[in-house]
Amino acid sequence: MGVPAGRSSKPRFRLRAMASVAAAFTAGAIAGPVVTAWAQDGSRAETYRLLNLFGDVFERVRAEYVEPVNDRDVIENAINGMLQGLDPHSSYMNLRNFRDMQVQTRGEFGGLGIEVSQEAGYVKVISPIDETPAARAGVKPGDLITHINNASTQGLTLQEAVDQMRGERGSSIRLTIRREGTATPIELSLTRETIRPQVVRARMEAGDVAYIRLTSFNEQTEVGLRRALSNLRSQARDGLKGIVLDLRNNPGGLLDQAIQVSDDFLEQGEIVSTRARRPEDAQRWNARSGDITAGLPVVVLVNAGSASASEIVAGALQDHRRAIIMGVKSFGKGSVQTVMPLPGNGAIRLTTARYYTPSGRSIQATGIEPDIEVLAQREDAQQNRERDREADLRRALRNDNSGAAAQGVNARPPAPLPPLNLPSGLVQAVQRLPAEGAPSFDPTKPETDHQLQQALNLLRGMASGQPQRRASR
């Protein structure tokens, strides 16, 4: 019985194709372009096939899902899924989310002017911002916001509660507050205004140490840092003994602000470098002369909530031994995201590079290890309770400190850090844990902040040359 023509033609075609490839390899130099062109054609065909697959699935969802779907929602969810499948920090922002991100970057929004946390399921006021609706209405640190517009705040996440308190300038909102020592709830009616949050909070500690806290890195951060230090220096009658730069729970923000803040403390040398997919896209930033602190000793406080831009500052000051890093290991986000607007359709936030400290360290998934470890509470050691860090996130980028994949600027394995230039007695005097029976940390009471108290003791010991053994109360 004869073989059908349709079956005999395919094997002959494959044999001819294989012969052509073999001849191309035999030709040596000719083989590269030929095989490359074939590979590109094959890759392009596969891409088209997958795009057709996406179109088929989209049409099935539109036609057969149990309820009608919104085309924009489906497409945006698909785009977000594509980006979030890459790493934890790439994502799609619709128009509303993109505008919110721009507002946060500029450092102003419509709201009430309250810095808040969460306690016992309610929103707790840490501090009202001066000259804002909340401050003028008499909101005080420690107040619990139990209701917003007569709806309970229990069950809301902190972000959901914050979103409800923000809004258009001139719009009204009603808060119900429970205050310690007051028998009945306090009802307040407020009108939202344009708020410029205090990303820099500063105060003098015992008349000789400047305490400066940076809560994020937006367009106001570096200017606010300079202003705060100038004000505190004018308050110190006998001069400052040192500076505490508090970066705890600072999630980061703008790269250029992290570079400028680092530059404020450095006279020279590299601040940070980035390496992208293409070696020619690598970049490096160096400090300009001029230390705004005039060489004062600095302690930087970090914890598991210190991420991204915070880690750039801590890493730069640590590598140059310009500051002592105290606290616990930081978050470990060593990647750079670029926001790419999509005209009329929001924007994408795409991871485009890794960053490296001056010594060549990538802190991706490892974090900044403090020079002196100090825990905030005894329970942190006893129960080994740690917040999730970058390494715990799904699809987190790997760390490449081995140098095997180094490319571009600063392409070298990390250099070891020089030892701390401190008398051993000063380091040994630092208490890693709070004293037995010490009160729990309350952000409204600095004396309960064990990490801060140890930083202050260390700075005063450096100024006097003697260890300070005062326990935090």
- For the stretch 346-360, pLDDT in tens is 999 999 999 999 999
The superfamily in CATH containing domain 109-195 is PDZ domain (2.30.42.10)
Bridge partners (DSSP) listed for residue 209: 205, 242
Q: Give pTM, 2 decimals.
A: 0.76
The dihedrals phi and psi of 186, each to the nearest 5 degrees, come to: -100, 125
Q: What pLDDT shows up at residue 37?
A: 55
Q: What pLDDT shows up at residue 267?
A: 97
Pairing of strands 324-327, 242-246: unpaired
Instruction: Decide if 326 contacts 376 (C-beta within 8 A).
Output: no
Q: What is the DSSP letter of 437?
A: T
Does 362 qualify as catalytic in the annotation? no
Instruction: Decide if 267 contacts 228 (C-beta within 8 A).
Output: no
Q: What pLDDT shows up at residue 383?
A: 47
* 124 Cβ neighbours under 8 A, 6+ residues apart: 116, 117, 118, 142, 143, 144, 145
The CB density around residue 39, as the number of other CB atoms within 10 Å, is 10
Say whether pLDDT at 7 is over 60.
no
Length of the chain: 473
**DSSP helix/strand/coil, 246:** strand
- 75-125 pLDDT, tens digit per residue, is 999 999 999 999 999 999 988 888 878 877 877 788 898 878 777 778 888
Q: Give the rounded percent of residues in the chain with a pLDDT score beyond 70.
A: 85
- 167-192 pLDDT, tens digit per residue, is 888 999 999 999 988 999 999 999 99
Kindly name the residue from 306, 308, 330, 472 that is annotated as catalytic. 308
- pLDDT band at 23; cut points 50, 70, 90: very low
Average pLDDT over residues 293-298: 96
What does the radius of gyration of the chain's CA atoms come to, in whole angstroms? 28
Kindly name the residue from 264, 319, 371, 449 that is annotated as catalytic. 319
The correct answer on CATH 3.30.1490.190 for the domain covering 200-417 is no
Average pLDDT over residues 268-279: 96
The CB density around residue 98, as the number of other CB atoms within 10 Å, is 19
- Chain center to CA of 383: 26
Q: What pLDDT shows up at residue 358?
A: 97
Average pLDDT over residues 447-470: 85
In single-letter form, the type of residue at position 234 comes to: S
* CA gap 209, 229 in Å, rounded: 11
* Element at 210 (helix H, strand E): strand 209-214
Kindly name the residue from 124, 241, 329, 333 that is annotated as catalytic. 333
- pLDDT band at 15; cut points 50, 70, 90: very low
Does 230 qualify as catalytic in the annotation? no
User: At which residue do the structure tokens 């920090």 appear?
Assistant: 89
* Residue boundaries of the structural domains of the chain: 58-87, 109-195, 200-417
